């Protein structure tokens, strides 16, 4: 997996089961933090949290290890609009 640098976060987009959500061309995105750059050490405990950001401010990269259509976002910390702790159900 790639390692973000320069105050960026590696974000995996949330999967949507809705056909309408896939057809909706909005700029807002929601994803889960997979990794953060070393200069954002204070966010290490936020891995797994959900973040909200504008896609036009982020870089979109194909996941070479994923299935067709899988991609990641690289988002600068200053471009994150909101963060949310997600409770995992076991």
**Which CATH number describes the domain made up of 8-17+26-84?**
2.30.33
DSSP state of 20: H
Domain boundaries, the chain: 8-17+26-84
Which single residue is written with the structure tokens 């954002």?
Answer: 40
Record the pTM: 0.82
C-alpha 74/C-alpha 55 separation (Å) is 10
pLDDT digits (tens, 9 = 90+) for 19-74: 445 545 566 899 999 999 999 999 999 999 999 999 999 999 998 777 777 899 99
C-alpha 19/C-alpha 8 separation (Å) is 30
């Amino acid at each position: 997996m790639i390692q973000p640098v320069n105050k960026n976060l590696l974000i995996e987009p949330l999967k949507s089961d809705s056909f309408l959500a896939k057809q909706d061309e909005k700029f807002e995105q929601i994803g889960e933090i997979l990794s953060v750059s070393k200069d954002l050490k204070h966010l290490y405990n936020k891995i797994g949290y959900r973040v909200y950001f504008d896609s036009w401010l982020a870089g979109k990269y194909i996941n070479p290890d994923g299935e067709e259509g899988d991609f990641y976002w690289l988002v600068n910390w200053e471009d994150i609009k909101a963060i949310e702790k997600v409770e995992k159900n076991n």
